[in-house]
Amino acid sequence: MKKRFLVLLVFLLTGAYSCVKNNGSEPQVPIFSYTSQIDNPPDAFMVVFNTSWVGDRVAVVKFDTSAVWMIEKLGDGRINLFLKNDTDIMSIVNVDTLGLEAGSEYKIIVNNLYTSEFNNFFVAFTKLEEDYESFEPKF
């Protein structure tokens, strides 16, 4: 009898936890995989990288309008983040704000040199209400 009661209690608590944990709403910020090209993303988005082995992962993004973007590392600080365009490469230590040009292809490079213990690393992009023409630095 006690065993049945415990099984029923565990079942009910598991169901209640899943209802509280998942409120049925979709995430507000879309998450893209680094394995697919990202064209014309929304005003806020994230790119997820699997960093469970040492080496580089590269995502490609192309914007439809020139704009000012805040780019932020979300994850272990030991992971290196670079942004590359046709001519330059820039390291992003934690967060940076850059003017990104429409039609240009940008490569988001995530580099793990240290360990194989990590699973996922996120890079967040948020479009800012800044005037692109007068903003510096442009990349």
Q: Indicate if the pLDDT at residue 10 is higher than 90.
A: no
* Residue 26, pLDDT score: 53
Look at 34 and 12; give whichever has higher pLDDT: 34
Q: Domain 26-128, what architecture? A: Sandwich (2.60)
DSSP calls for 20-47:
HH--SPPPSS-EEETTS-EES--SEEEE
- Which of 13-17, 55-59, 85-89 has the least mean pLDDT? 13-17
Structural domain boundaries in the chain: 26-128
Report whether 43 contacts 49 (CB < 8 A).
Answer: no
What pLDDT does 11 receive? 38
Assess contact for 28 and 46: CB atoms under 8 A: no
- The answer, yes or no, to whether residue 15 has pLDDT greater than 50, is no
- Would you state the pLDDT for residue 32? 97
Task: State the average pLDDT for the chain.
Answer: 83
